[in-house]
Structure 1
Amino acid sequence: MSLAVCVFCASSSRIDPKYIELATEVGTELAGRGHTLVSGGAQVSCMGAVARAARAGGSRTVGVIPEGLVSVEISDEDNDELIVTPDMRSRKGEMDRLSDAFLVLPGGIGTLEELFEVWTARVLDMHQKAVVILDPYGVYDPLRDLMQSLLDAGFARAKIFDAIGWTASVSEAFDLLERSQPRIQPTAEDYAESEL
């Protein structure tokens, strides 16, 4: 089963090289499994590393980048397809449209924004695409704790964790992406009594 896997990850150049290595491993695994990469379209940092590794393994890569970031992030012209959007909102919409599943690597506020949008839509049953966080270094441990606190306080339902996979292993991340996930059916009570 070949998927178009959208990888959300860092474009910052000031990160530990281990995150670049992780992105490279992800691109290699993606290619080895015969998937297509959808990414943010930059050739720098983790974003560039995952795309280069995917192409080196024979995968098709599609980059989606907003016009305002073409020069800032240095667009990856080696992508098989590079889509330039008017702004960030249309970028996310296009990445969503093109993708069958989402893999989230450690990243900054842009990565978090992308994560929360697809995670929220999954909780609300607006899509059934797999959403998986790959975090071998515990970057997102505080986020997991925060979401548990929101759940404990009644601001969220247990299905927030049903709607996402969380792993420290590259191979397990792809296993989760490829495996069908349980369907989440929101009820009127969910909307009435609780936030996401």
Structure 2
Amino acid sequence: MANVCVFCASSRTLDDRWLALATETGAELARRGHTLVSGGGCVGMMGAVTDGARAAGGRTVGVIPQSLVDLEVADLAADELLVTDGMASRKTLMVDKSDAFVTLPGGLGTLDELFEVWTTATLALHAKPMVLVDADGFYRPLLDWLGSLADRHFLKPAGMDLLMVADSVPAALDLIDARLT
């Protein structure tokens, strides 16, 4: 099947519902036969998504900068752990290794990854499907603001259309599966 990259939070202080969402994402990817590509960490939602994938028999690929390996947050149980020299090369390798992208709730790092992959898609540097999981309306304020950018001509409507939005993990993966077949 496909290599699906999941962007999500790595915070150690999240509510259990976000960890459960990440675990569900990993498990659902594995059930559908996809390989999980992640940021290579073992904490927060990033750790939960890889644990969910492995528990359901899935394959995991982690991409992590050496600086985070040195902090002992690397997912050493990954089927393949790729170590980069920095965060920028990490993002590049994650994009290169992936056929599609799912963005779960997260903070600045998650948004950085989302915007990087979305921006390169608007520049026609790739045509890989991207889905934002707006669980419990987490991203609603951001989506409203992004819509206003399009309304004011700072973002072309076609660019906005490149990012698909789903309110659940199964719906997100249905959108990806439909685009990949």
Q: CA shift at 1:135, angstroms?
A: 1.7
Distance 1:156 1:135 in 2: 20
Matched to 2:103, the amino acid is: V
Distance 1:70 1:108 in 2: 20
Q: Residue 95 of structure 1 corresponds to which residue in structure 2?
A: 94
Q: CA shift at 1:177, angstroms?
A: 0.9
Distance 2:153 2:172 in 1: 29
Q: How large is the Cα RMSD of the aligned pairs?
A: 1.1
Distance 1:86 1:174 in 2: 31
Kept in 2: contact 1:44–1:73 (CA 8 A): no
Structure 1 runs (4+) deviating above 6 angstroms are none
Residue 175 (1) aligns with residue 155 (2): no
Higher fraction of helix:
2
Kept in 2: contact 1:105–1:135 (CA 8 A): yes
Q: Residue 188 of structure 1 corresponds to which residue in structure 2?
A: none
Quickly say closer, same or farther: Cα 1:73–1:23, change in 2 above 3 A: farther
**Number of residue-to-residue matches in the alignment:** 180
Q: CA shift at 1:72, angstroms?
A: 3.1
Q: Point out where structure 2 has 5 or more consecutive residues left out of the alignment.
A: none
Identity of matched residues, %: 52
Q: Residue 193 of structure 1 corresponds to which residue in structure 2?
A: none
Q: Residue 132 of structure 1 corresponds to which residue in structure 2?
A: 131
Q: CA shift at 1:15, angstroms?
A: 1.4
Q: CA shift at 1:73, angstroms?
A: 5.9
Q: CA shift at 1:14, angstroms?
A: 1.6
Q: CA shift at 1:131, angstroms?
A: 0.4
Q: Under a length normalisation based on structure 1, what TM-score does the superposition of the two structures give?
A: 0.89
Residue 17 (1) aligns with residue 11 (2): no
Q: Residue 160 of structure 1 corresponds to which residue in structure 2?
A: 159
Matched to 2:30, the amino acid is: A
Give the match's secondary structure for 2:76: coil
Distance 1:131 1:72 in 2: 30
Matched to 1:51, the amino acid is: T
Distance 1:178 1:40 in 2: 22
Q: Point out where structure 1 has 5 or more consecutive residues left out of the alignment.
A: 182-196
Residue 56 (1) aligns with residue 55 (2): yes
Residue 38 (1) aligns with residue 62 (2): no
Distance 2:116 2:49 in 1: 22
Kept in 1: contact 2:6–2:36 (CA 8 A): yes
Q: Residue 145 of structure 2 corresponds to which residue in structure 1?
A: 146
Kept in 2: contact 1:11–1:46 (CA 8 A): yes
Rg comparison, structure with higher value: 1
